[in-house]
């Protein structure tokens, strides 16, 4: 009964926004469940490909694909592109979960599968559900948001505990 009363207090805009969130999340979860679990790699979208961390991400992507693991990233530039490139180069499965932004985020050319989200949280949930291992390279606010939520969810037993690797002493 309280729930019905609360729903009556929501505006049409609130209901439309909630429906859009649910649609983005539902579509993402449905599609991500059709992919194999893999290693989800997070990190800066702004690092150039010749940076030491991008070189490390390339090598990691290559090694993971060489050993039969799908590489899953946010699908954009920087660390995500480097890891994708490393896996793609030897024919590995590279899954990019992109986000629609006004600037800077675009699918990198090394994806075998791609899905674009409208909302960060739907993308983050899908990146988490796709993983059997997490790897975090240095990044900005987005990377910090992702690592803090994933670690908190594991700590509170809201998701299974799984390996988490932090790459680089700068991080």
Decide if 71 is inside a domain. yes
What's the average model confidence in pLDDT over 11-20? 92
Decide if 94 is inside a domain. yes
Note down the domain range covering 124: 2-166
Taking the C-alpha atoms of residue 95 and residue 97, their distance in angstroms, rounded to an integer, is: 7
pLDDT, tens digit, 9 for 90 and up, residues 99-127: 988 776 789 999 999 999 999 999 999 99
Phi, psi at 92, each rounded to 5°: -75, 165
For the chain, the first-to-last Cα distance in angstroms comes to: 48
pLDDT, tens digit, 9 for 90 and up, residues 39-92: 999 999 999 999 999 999 999 999 999 999 999 999 999 999 999 999 999 999
Q: What pTM does this model have?
A: 0.92
Decide if 99 is inside a domain. yes
Decide if 171 is inside a domain. no
Bridge partners of residue 70, in order along the sequence: 38
- In which residue are the tokens 């946010």 written? 74
Q: How many domains does the chain have?
A: 1
Instruction: Write the Ramachandran bin of 105: left for phi over 0, alpha for psi from -120 to 50, otherwise beta.
Output: beta
pLDDT at 2 over 70: no
Taking the C-alpha atoms of residue 134 and residue 95, their distance in angstroms, rounded to an integer, is: 14
User: CATH code at 102?
Assistant: 3.40.50.450
């Amino acid at each position: 009964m309280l729930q019905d009363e609360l729903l009556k207090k929501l505006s049409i805009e609130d209901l439309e926004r909630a429906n859009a969130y649910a649609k983005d999340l539902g579509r993402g979860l449905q599609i991500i469940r059709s992919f194999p679990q893999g290693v989800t790699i997070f990190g800066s979208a702004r690092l150039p490909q010749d940076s030491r961390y991008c070189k490390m991400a390339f090598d990691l992507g290559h090694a993971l694909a060489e050993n039969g693991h799908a590489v899953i990233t946010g699908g954009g530039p920087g660390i995500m592109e480097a890891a994708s490139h490393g896996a793609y180069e030897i024919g590995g499965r590279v899954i990019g979960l992109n986000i629609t932004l006004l600037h800077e985020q675009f699918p990198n050319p090394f994806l075998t599968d791609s899905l674009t989200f409208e909302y960060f949280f739907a993308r983050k949930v899908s990146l988490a559900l796709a993983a059997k291992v997490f790897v975090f390279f240095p990044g900005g606010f987005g990377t910090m948001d992702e690592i803090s939520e994933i670690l908190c969810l594991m700590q509170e037993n809201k998701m299974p505990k799984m390996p988490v690797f932090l790459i680089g002493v700068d991080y």
